[in-house]
Amino acid sequence: MYKKYFKRIMDITVALVIMPFILIIVLIVGILIYSEDKGSIFYNAQRLGLNGKVFKMFKFRTMKMNAPDIRNDDGSTFNSENDPRLTKIGRFLRTTSIDELPQLLNVLIGDMSLVGPRPDLPEHIKQYDSHEMNKLNVRPGITGYNQAYFRNTIPWKDRIKNDLLYIDHLTFLMDIKVILKTIERVLRRKDVYIE
């Protein structure tokens, strides 16, 4: 019942309540991003969503304009504290996870949930086995089990295993635990980067 109906109602309610505060943050952060290099304030990334639908995920831009796309050996996006592509404000936004806040718009649109598996790149669907395709049975989340407990410290395939574990145990209590653990991890600024 929660997974099918109440989770979406909770997503919309929470997003609407905090949206005015997010708009203030967007104004402030937008000015800071633009003042550093005069580029766009948002980075719109193509991601895999519910039932494999590709959608545009909103984030604050943390890299220099036209930065090259660098991937890890497993195909996941490269993420390092010493990444020369990061802007000064971008490094702060990533460390505090403020760069993810525009995804509340994705929640309102219906492409994402507050809690769920983090969305993969569209081309990653070719690397899913039949069981891993189950990751696409729920909306991806702004945060999820991996972000709450491991952040960026485990390989991509292990993240998918955890995503499937989350889906199998998806309850209101599980989502509350993930949200509280995410807040703790963000405040501690732990495991933001993987070297």
Domain edges within the chain: 2-187
What is the four-CA torsion angle of 190, 89, 112, 106, rounded to 10 degrees? 160
Which tokens in the block code for residue 123? Answer: 């081309």
The C-alpha atoms of residue 110 and residue 128 are separated, in whole angstroms, by 24
Partners of residue 47 on adjacent β-strands: 55
Residue 192: per-residue pLDDT = 56
User: CB-side exposure of 171: number of CA atoms within 13 Å?
Assistant: 4
Interatomic CA distance for residues 193 and 72, integer angstroms: 13
Per-residue pLDDT in tens (0 to 9) along the chain, 195 residues? 898 889 999 999 999 999 999 999 999 999 999 999 999 999 999 999 999 999 999 999 998 888 777 776 666 666 666 788 899 999 999 888 899 999 999 999 999 999 999 999 999 999 999 999 999 999 999 999 998 998 777 888 999 999 999 999 999 999 999 999 999 988 886 655 554
